[in-house]
Amino acid sequence: MSKPKIALTALAAALLAGCATGPTVEQQAAYAADSRAAVGELVKTLLGELRQDIAAGGPEGAITVCRDKAPKIAGGIAQKHGVSVKRVTFKPRNPQRSTPDEWETQALRELEQRFAQGVKGDALEYYQVVDGPKGKTFRYMKGLVTAELCMTCHGTPETIPPAVQAKLAAEYPGDKATGYLPNQFRGGVSIQRPL
Ligand code: HEC
Protein backbone atom coordinates (compact mmCIF):
# COMPACT_ATOMS: atom_id res chain seq x y z
CA MET A 1 0.00 0.00 0.00
CA SER A 2 2.91 2.38 0.43
CA LYS A 3 3.90 2.40 -3.23
CA PRO A 4 1.00 4.46 -4.65
CA LYS A 5 1.47 6.94 -1.83
CA ILE A 6 5.09 7.51 -2.82
CA ALA A 7 4.07 7.87 -6.46
CA LEU A 8 1.44 10.46 -5.52
CA THR A 9 3.91 12.41 -3.40
CA ALA A 10 6.38 12.39 -6.27
CA LEU A 11 3.67 13.68 -8.62
CA ALA A 12 2.70 16.46 -6.22
CA ALA A 13 6.35 17.43 -5.84
CA ALA A 14 6.78 17.50 -9.61
CA LEU A 15 3.71 19.71 -10.00
CA LEU A 16 4.93 22.10 -7.31
CA ALA A 17 8.35 22.24 -8.90
CA GLY A 18 6.61 23.08 -12.18
CA CYS A 19 4.83 25.98 -10.50
CA ALA A 20 8.08 27.35 -9.19
CA THR A 21 9.92 27.13 -12.49
CA GLY A 22 7.35 28.44 -14.93
CA PRO A 23 3.71 29.08 -15.77
CA THR A 24 1.31 26.14 -15.79
CA VAL A 25 -0.39 24.93 -18.94
CA GLU A 26 -3.53 26.82 -17.83
CA GLN A 27 -1.58 30.05 -17.27
CA GLN A 28 0.02 29.70 -20.69
CA ALA A 29 -3.42 29.22 -22.25
CA ALA A 30 -4.58 32.42 -20.52
CA TYR A 31 -1.53 34.36 -21.79
CA ALA A 32 -2.22 32.96 -25.28
CA ALA A 33 -5.86 34.12 -25.09
CA ASP A 34 -4.74 37.60 -24.06
CA SER A 35 -2.16 37.67 -26.88
CA ARG A 36 -4.83 36.54 -29.37
CA ALA A 37 -7.06 39.39 -28.19
CA ALA A 38 -4.19 41.90 -28.58
CA VAL A 39 -3.52 40.73 -32.15
CA GLY A 40 -7.26 40.91 -32.89
CA GLU A 41 -7.33 44.54 -31.71
CA LEU A 42 -4.27 45.39 -33.80
CA VAL A 43 -5.60 43.81 -37.00
CA LYS A 44 -9.08 45.30 -36.56
CA THR A 45 -7.77 48.81 -35.86
CA LEU A 46 -5.27 48.65 -38.75
CA LEU A 47 -7.89 47.46 -41.23
CA GLY A 48 -10.27 50.21 -40.12
CA GLU A 49 -7.58 52.88 -40.53
CA LEU A 50 -6.52 51.46 -43.90
CA ARG A 51 -10.07 51.48 -45.28
CA GLN A 52 -10.67 55.00 -43.96
CA ASP A 53 -7.43 56.44 -45.38
CA ILE A 54 -7.83 54.68 -48.74
CA ALA A 55 -11.33 56.17 -49.01
CA ALA A 56 -10.06 59.62 -48.03
CA GLY A 57 -6.78 59.93 -49.95
CA GLY A 58 -6.45 56.89 -52.22
CA PRO A 59 -4.12 53.95 -51.57
CA GLU A 60 -0.96 56.03 -52.00
CA GLY A 61 -2.20 58.22 -49.15
CA ALA A 62 -2.82 55.13 -46.99
CA ILE A 63 0.83 54.04 -47.15
CA THR A 64 1.41 56.16 -44.08
CA VAL A 65 -1.12 53.99 -42.16
CA CYS A 66 1.17 51.01 -42.44
CA ARG A 67 4.31 53.09 -41.99
CA ASP A 68 3.47 55.63 -39.27
CA LYS A 69 0.20 54.61 -37.67
CA ALA A 70 0.83 50.86 -37.39
CA PRO A 71 3.73 51.18 -34.91
CA LYS A 72 1.75 53.70 -32.81
CA ILE A 73 -1.35 51.50 -32.75
CA ALA A 74 0.82 48.50 -31.87
CA GLY A 75 2.48 50.55 -29.10
CA GLY A 76 -0.86 51.45 -27.52
CA ILE A 77 -2.05 47.85 -27.58
CA ALA A 78 1.28 46.66 -26.19
CA GLN A 79 1.01 49.05 -23.25
CA LYS A 80 -2.58 48.05 -22.52
CA HIS A 81 -1.70 44.34 -22.44
CA GLY A 82 1.72 44.67 -20.77
CA VAL A 83 3.53 43.06 -23.69
CA SER A 84 5.63 44.05 -26.69
CA VAL A 85 4.09 43.76 -30.15
CA LYS A 86 5.97 43.48 -33.44
CA ARG A 87 5.08 42.55 -37.02
CA VAL A 88 7.55 40.13 -38.60
CA THR A 89 7.98 38.51 -41.99
CA PHE A 90 10.45 36.65 -44.21
CA LYS A 91 9.67 39.16 -46.99
CA PRO A 92 10.04 42.56 -45.36
CA ARG A 93 9.16 45.94 -46.74
CA ASN A 94 10.75 47.60 -43.73
CA PRO A 95 13.51 45.17 -42.64
CA GLN A 96 14.59 47.47 -39.77
CA ARG A 97 11.26 46.88 -38.07
CA SER A 98 10.14 43.48 -39.24
CA THR A 99 13.11 41.14 -39.46
CA PRO A 100 12.37 38.11 -37.26
CA ASP A 101 14.73 37.09 -34.45
CA GLU A 102 15.71 33.45 -33.88
CA TRP A 103 12.55 32.44 -32.02
CA GLU A 104 10.34 34.36 -34.45
CA THR A 105 12.03 32.68 -37.41
CA GLN A 106 11.28 29.25 -35.96
CA ALA A 107 7.67 30.24 -35.14
CA LEU A 108 7.07 31.69 -38.62
CA ARG A 109 8.48 28.54 -40.25
CA GLU A 110 6.18 26.38 -38.13
CA LEU A 111 3.10 28.49 -38.92
CA GLU A 112 3.91 28.74 -42.63
CA GLN A 113 4.14 24.96 -42.74
CA ARG A 114 0.82 24.56 -40.90
CA PHE A 115 -0.80 27.08 -43.25
CA ALA A 116 0.44 25.03 -46.21
CA GLN A 117 -1.22 22.01 -44.59
CA GLY A 118 -4.57 23.83 -44.46
CA VAL A 119 -4.64 25.31 -40.93
CA LYS A 120 -6.50 28.63 -40.91
CA GLY A 121 -7.44 31.72 -38.91
CA ASP A 122 -7.21 31.63 -35.13
CA ALA A 123 -5.57 28.21 -35.17
CA LEU A 124 -2.54 29.76 -36.89
CA GLU A 125 -0.75 30.50 -33.62
CA TYR A 126 2.35 29.25 -31.84
CA TYR A 127 3.50 29.93 -28.30
CA GLN A 128 6.16 28.92 -25.82
CA VAL A 129 7.84 29.90 -22.57
CA VAL A 130 11.42 30.81 -23.43
CA ASP A 131 14.39 31.13 -21.08
CA GLY A 132 16.51 34.18 -21.75
CA PRO A 133 19.30 36.14 -20.11
CA LYS A 134 16.69 38.39 -18.44
CA GLY A 135 14.54 35.51 -17.24
CA LYS A 136 11.51 33.76 -18.64
CA THR A 137 9.38 35.23 -21.41
CA PHE A 138 6.08 34.07 -22.82
CA ARG A 139 6.39 34.29 -26.59
CA TYR A 140 3.46 34.17 -28.98
CA MET A 141 3.11 34.35 -32.76
CA LYS A 142 -0.08 34.74 -34.77
CA GLY A 143 0.14 34.10 -38.52
CA LEU A 144 -1.01 36.81 -40.96
CA VAL A 145 -2.59 35.85 -44.26
CA THR A 146 -3.14 38.21 -47.20
CA ALA A 147 -6.62 39.36 -48.18
CA GLU A 148 -7.95 41.16 -51.24
CA LEU A 149 -7.40 44.56 -49.55
CA CYS A 150 -3.66 43.90 -49.16
CA MET A 151 -3.20 43.52 -52.95
CA THR A 152 -3.21 47.31 -53.46
CA CYS A 153 0.17 47.51 -51.73
CA HIS A 154 1.51 43.94 -51.52
CA GLY A 155 0.20 42.42 -54.76
CA THR A 156 1.52 42.32 -58.33
CA PRO A 157 2.08 45.13 -60.88
CA GLU A 158 -1.48 44.40 -62.06
CA THR A 159 -3.02 45.10 -58.63
CA ILE A 160 -0.71 47.85 -57.30
CA PRO A 161 -1.72 51.21 -58.82
CA PRO A 162 1.16 53.14 -60.49
CA ALA A 163 1.04 55.94 -57.89
CA VAL A 164 1.48 53.36 -55.11
CA GLN A 165 4.29 51.62 -57.00
CA ALA A 166 6.08 54.96 -57.34
CA LYS A 167 5.71 55.83 -53.67
CA LEU A 168 6.80 52.37 -52.51
CA ALA A 169 9.86 52.48 -54.80
CA ALA A 170 10.81 55.89 -53.38
CA GLU A 171 10.29 55.02 -49.70
CA TYR A 172 11.28 51.36 -49.58
CA PRO A 173 14.30 50.51 -51.73
CA GLY A 174 14.72 46.73 -51.74
CA ASP A 175 11.04 46.14 -50.89
CA LYS A 176 10.47 42.36 -50.67
CA ALA A 177 6.78 42.58 -49.68
CA THR A 178 5.18 42.45 -53.14
CA GLY A 179 4.13 39.67 -55.49
CA TYR A 180 1.46 38.29 -53.17
CA LEU A 181 -1.91 36.85 -54.14
CA PRO A 182 -4.88 36.79 -51.74
CA ASN A 183 -4.78 34.03 -49.12
CA GLN A 184 -1.02 33.62 -48.88
CA PHE A 185 1.15 33.50 -45.77
CA ARG A 186 2.45 37.04 -45.22
CA GLY A 187 4.14 36.84 -41.81
CA GLY A 188 3.01 37.21 -38.24
CA VAL A 189 2.41 39.36 -35.20
CA SER A 190 4.92 38.54 -32.48
CA ILE A 191 4.10 39.15 -28.82
CA GLN A 192 6.51 38.98 -25.88
CA ARG A 193 5.42 38.98 -22.25
CA PRO A 194 8.06 39.14 -19.53
CA LEU A 195 7.20 36.67 -16.73
C1 HEC B 1 -2.01 51.26 -48.44
C2 HEC B 1 -0.95 50.32 -48.62
C3 HEC B 1 -0.95 49.05 -47.80
C4 HEC B 1 -1.98 48.14 -47.67
C5 HEC B 1 -3.38 48.21 -48.26
C6 HEC B 1 -1.45 47.07 -46.84
N7 HEC B 1 -0.14 47.33 -46.49
FE8 HEC B 1 1.04 46.18 -45.35
N9 HEC B 1 2.54 47.51 -45.49
C10 HEC B 1 2.47 48.69 -46.20
C11 HEC B 1 3.67 49.47 -45.93
C12 HEC B 1 4.00 50.85 -46.50
C13 HEC B 1 4.46 48.71 -45.03
C14 HEC B 1 5.80 49.07 -44.42
C15 HEC B 1 5.53 49.61 -43.02
C16 HEC B 1 6.75 50.10 -42.28
O17 HEC B 1 7.46 50.96 -42.80
O18 HEC B 1 6.98 49.62 -41.16
C19 HEC B 1 3.70 47.48 -44.77
C20 HEC B 1 4.13 46.49 -43.91
C21 HEC B 1 3.42 45.37 -43.63
C22 HEC B 1 3.87 44.35 -42.71
C23 HEC B 1 5.15 44.39 -41.86
C24 HEC B 1 6.24 43.60 -42.46
C25 HEC B 1 7.03 44.31 -43.53
O26 HEC B 1 6.95 43.87 -44.69
O27 HEC B 1 7.73 45.30 -43.23
C28 HEC B 1 2.92 43.37 -42.72
C29 HEC B 1 2.96 42.07 -41.94
C30 HEC B 1 1.87 43.81 -43.61
N31 HEC B 1 2.21 45.03 -44.16
C32 HEC B 1 0.74 43.08 -43.88
C33 HEC B 1 -0.33 43.59 -44.59
C34 HEC B 1 -1.58 42.86 -44.76
C35 HEC B 1 -1.85 41.46 -44.22
C36 HEC B 1 -2.41 43.67 -45.46
C37 HEC B 1 -3.84 43.42 -45.84
C38 HEC B 1 -4.75 43.18 -44.76
C39 HEC B 1 -1.68 44.91 -45.75
N40 HEC B 1 -0.42 44.81 -45.20
C41 HEC B 1 -2.17 45.97 -46.47
C42 HEC B 1 1.44 49.12 -47.01
C43 HEC B 1 0.20 48.51 -47.07
Q: What is the mean predicted confidence (pLDDT) over 152-165? A: 95
Q: What is the mean predicted confidence (pLDDT) over 156-174? A: 94
Whether 95 is covered by a domain: the verdict is yes
Structural domain range at position 34: 24-194
152 lines ligand 1 (CB under 6 A): yes
Per-residue pLDDT at 60? 86
Whether 37 is covered by a domain: the verdict is yes
How far is 111 from 124, CA to CA, in rounded Å? 6
For 3-13, the pLDDT digits (tens) are 555 555 554 54
Q: Count other Cβ atoms within 10 Å, centred on residue 48.
A: 12
80 CA to middle of ligand 1, Å? 23
Per-residue pLDDT at 10? 53
Per-residue pLDDT at 1? 44
Q: Which residues pair with 191 in a beta bridge?
A: 85, 140
Contact 28, 76 (CB under 8 A): no
38 lines ligand 1 (CB under 6 A): no
Whether 3 is covered by a domain: the verdict is no
The minimum-distance atom of ligand 1 relative to the CA of 176 is 26
165 lines ligand 1 (CB under 6 A): no
Whether 150 is covered by a domain: the verdict is yes
Residue of the CA atom closest to atom 22 of ligand 1: 87
Q: How many domains does one find in the chain?
A: 1
Per-residue pLDDT at 18? 47
Write a three-state SS string for the chain: CHHHHHHHHHHHHHHHHHHHHCCCHHHHHHHHHHHHHHHHHHHHHHHHHHHHHHHHHHHHHHHHHHHHHHHHHHHHHHHHHCCEEEEECCCCCCHHHHCCCHHHHHHHHHHHHHHHCCCCHHHCEEEEEEEECCEEEEEEEEEEECCHHHHHHHCCCCCCCHHHHHHHHHHCCCCCCCCCCCCCEEEEEEEEEEC
Contact 108, 90 (CB under 8 A): yes
Per-residue pLDDT at 53? 87
Whether 7 is covered by a domain: the verdict is no
The minimum-distance atom of ligand 1 relative to the CA of 177 is 26
Per-residue pLDDT at 14? 45
For 91-127, the pLDDT digits (tens) are 999 999 999 999 999 999 999 999 999 998 779 999 9
Per-residue pLDDT at 132? 84
Whether 65 is covered by a domain: the verdict is yes
Whether 113 is covered by a domain: the verdict is yes
Contact 85, 46 (CB under 8 A): no
Whether 10 is covered by a domain: the verdict is no
Q: Average pLDDT of the chain?
A: 89
Q: State how beta strands 125-132 and 135-145 pair.
A: antiparallel
Per-residue pLDDT at 180? 98
CATH code for the domain in which residue 163 is found? 3.30.450
